[in-house]
Structure 1
């Protein structure tokens, strides 16, 4: 057999078996690690696999019922958000260490996009699914319940999950931020974030924040939810719009650190001193905060830890081990230097 030709054509299992001098069934058993062959036979087959560049069709094997699926479907809103990229990295690292592969879906915070992806990925017979968020369309719920596979909902902790849940309570997180802002003496505050067509964690944080501010005698006088991505530039022009409509705002809470960075840049360009003239609070504790002139007031969540925890729950369930329905990974507030000193 011409090795040069092999590099330019798809090699099948029969060709590997012939080159190794074994039956196709034996070659198949070697690749699946089923045993029943000698070390010498295994070495011969694997040598030909490497030499010929054979790539087994694992998906076809799953469909044929030859082995359990190693695919885990993972949905996140988008890859442009550094937070979700870190969560995905944590999931992929842990799953990869146990021989599983991620099948990624990007839902753009839209229930119908998630539903389309769930329908597609279930047709590939995955071993399980990891979904961002706790809100799904009615049809998605039906498909997930009927699939008969483990499902982990991540990000916004759900005390009554479809199956398993790992994340934080975003309402409580927002409430703690609001309590801290009140303790710093702020009464008239604003919020800059983005809007989506489904309930999401940022909405829960805003609800908790608003409740805490009002409980402390303050008021969220202006909420600006932009139809845009939660990134630097929307944070910049969102701050401009908010302050143009209500200059009495003393402190702004942003959906995430990226938007807060944009707000800081707007204030700097327009002669507003932070925190003397206005307070700035982000969320997420992104690594880029370490290069700022002053430490951004933010909330730290270990996104890699969240991803690891989700993957560990999935692996444990697939291994038949007992798994708690919910896992709270926790958060903590970083006071930073972009708000006035705590006065209480």
Structure 2
């Protein structure tokens, strides 16, 4: 097992060289023979020495390879996919992710930003466009590349990649209105800090009203947006408003839960009620029906964010904002399309 308590001086002594020479070998700075390199690296392996990369950065001898990445939660597979896209790209270019989870709380994000900046990272990737005043001050004064992801902002602090969540919600509401639905319902989770979901709901509500319909019930649950939340949320919504003819869910997992509740109650979908999700999550691909949804390139957003940050680190020209768009997926969980030209996926991609 590697032992990070072994010191550089011990490595140098075991190899029969000076501490300075051992340091140059480990950092591959040159000025030593191949024989010396072999002796030093052999002792590094034998003793299990781990260089203090952070101390090296603080000493100003080397550029940091750390990139701070904050996401709200790992349990939500959308953010897990964003993180995977970021990490894959960073690792490919010898950078390491320093992860922080904010739980949708601005004060937690602020504390994480303050901590991670003290480690002198190469850059930061933060989720969302809303930050506390103190966090905004810290980010603006950081002097490093910063990428805001997920919720597109045409005027970011530094760089931004994401999608317009209001537009995605509006697109779904307009589509459902075109299918003849007039009594809409919504099932999601608390939007106190989940600004992207709140924006989607606002867009959906506006589209429903523009189509001459009404959102009969907006059910916001104090829970995580999962299968069971969708199931019992649908039960609550329909208990209060039996006349709702279509339900839009915060994400596909909730929509699948809602579908299951309706099926158990003997409701035929889409004859009796329509079901629409958001995100085009993996669960939708294994259902015996095609879920009406909005597809979002989660993994690609993460990859683009890392690419933008690395380009900035290397002082390469970069487009500072990227709207990746979305695709509306008509499915069998809503009524038959009234227009023949909307049978296929409707693409709102920007890139």
Compute the TM-score of the two structures, normalised by the length of structure 2. Answer: 0.93
1:192-341 equivalences under 5 Å are: 192-198=187-193, 200-341=195-336
The alignment yields a C-alpha RMSD, in angstroms, of: 1.5
Shift in alpha-carbon separation, 1:8–1:214, aligned structure 2, 3 A: closer
Equivalent in the alignment of 1:46 = 41
Select 1:190's aligned residue among 182, 185, 189.
185
Where do 1:6-25 residues align within 5 Å? 10-25=5-20
Does the 8 A contact of 1:77 with 1:109 survive in 2?
A: yes
Structure 1: which 4+ aligned runs deviate by more than 4 Å? Answer: 6-9
Matched residues in 1 for 2:274 and 2:61: separation? 60
Q: SS at the partner of 2:141?
A: helix
Say if 1:245 and 1:31 are closer, same or farther in 2 by CA, change over 3 A.
Answer: same
Counterpart for residue 77 of structure 1: 72
Match of 1:134 in 2: 129
How much has 1:199 moved relative to structure 2? 5.6
Deviations 1:247-292 (A, max 9, x none): 1111111011111111111112111111111111111111121211
Q: Partner of 1:172: helix, strand, or coil? A: helix
Q: Find the partner of 2:160 among 158, 162, 165.
A: 165
Aligned to 2:149: 154
Q: CA offset at residue 9 of structure 1? A: 7.5
Cα distance per residue 1:181-222 (max 9 Å; x no partner): 112211111111112333611111111111111111111111
CA distance in structure 2 between the aligned counterparts of 1:31 and 1:288, rounded to whole angstroms: 47
SS in 2 for 1:112: helix
Secondary structure, counterpart of 2:87 in structure 1: helix
Equivalences for 1:80-99 in 2 at 5 Å? 80-99=75-94
Matching of residues 103-142 of structure 1 within 5 Å: 103-142=98-137
Cα offset for 1:7? Answer: 6.2
CA distance in 1, matches of 2:54, 2:70: 20
Greater RCO, 1 or 2 (C-alpha within 8 Å, sep 6+): 1
Correspondence 1:100 to 2:95 = yes
Distance 1:57 1:247, change over 3 A: same
Check conservation: 1:79, 1:85, Cα contact below 8 A.
Answer: yes
Per-residue displacement from partner, 1:133-166 (whole Å, max 9, x unpaired)? Answer: 0011111101111111111000010000011000
The SS at the match of 2:259 is helix
CA contact (8 A) 1:109 1:196 kept: no
Deviation of residue 16 (structure 1)? Answer: 1.6
Please, which runs of 5 or more residues in structure 1 have no aligned partner? 1-5
- Against the structure 1 CA distance between its residues 199 and 138, is the aligned structure 2 distance closer, same or farther, given a 3 Å change threshold? farther
**What is the aligned length?**
339
- Alpha carbons 1:224, 1:238 under 8 Å: kept: yes
Query: Deviation at 1:174?
Result: 0.9
Report if aligned partners of 2:230, 2:258 keep a CA contact under 8 Å in 1: yes
Match of 1:3 in 2: none
